[in-house]
Amino acid sequence: MEVVKTNIEGVVIIEPRLFKDDRGYFFESFSQREFDEKVRPIKFVQDNESMSSYGVMRGLHFQTMPYSQSKLVRCVKGAVLDVAVDIRKGSPTYGQHVAVELTGENHRQFFIPRGFAHGFTVLSEIAVFQYKCDNFYAPQHDGGISILDESLGICWRIPTGKAILSEKDTKHPLLKDFESPFLYGEDLYK
């Protein structure tokens, strides 16, 4: 696997080594040893999958301590625009984001560390999205910032007036009205 650094430290894109022939393709989607060496030591404990239609926007979500989560995400069918927003107070990249298109064809994966809000929008007719988490889901520790916050400067590549959001995702605060539970430099993995 090739690890591509982004403009925010710790947020990386993973390009798998794809082996193709006339039968199709093969790639190793995850190797604990290689991930620990090239990205960071981690132990994933939960795998999730969602299916969504065009225009669905999910996020921008996070969980608070002690249930904060890192995520390794990928789109196995269709296409999504996936985004990580730095919400660590005091970070030199606070409020900045990284966006990457994940598709069933490019096989890319995106690693979002703890201390980031995460969301995506579906660009294809349907998308099947999978993600690994390094902590269990804890609904009482859910948090979020508005996925439609224009101050974040995210180009979602769909008309946001036609976006399909859950009721919960329409109620998250804007970044300017948000009090982050994460501090830059704090060990979020203890």
Active site amino acids: 61, 131
Helix (H) or strand (E) holding 36: helix 32-38
Peptide bond into 60 cis (omega under 30): yes
CB of 174 closer than 8 Å to CB of 146: yes
3-7, Cβ contacts within 8 angstroms, sequence gap of 24 or more: 3/38, 3/39, 6/98, 6/100, 7/93, 7/96, 7/98
CB of 4 closer than 8 Å to CB of 14: yes
C-beta atoms surrounding 129 within 10 Å = 22
C-beta atoms surrounding 82 within 10 Å = 26
DSSP states of 124-139 as a string?
SSEEEEEEEESS---G
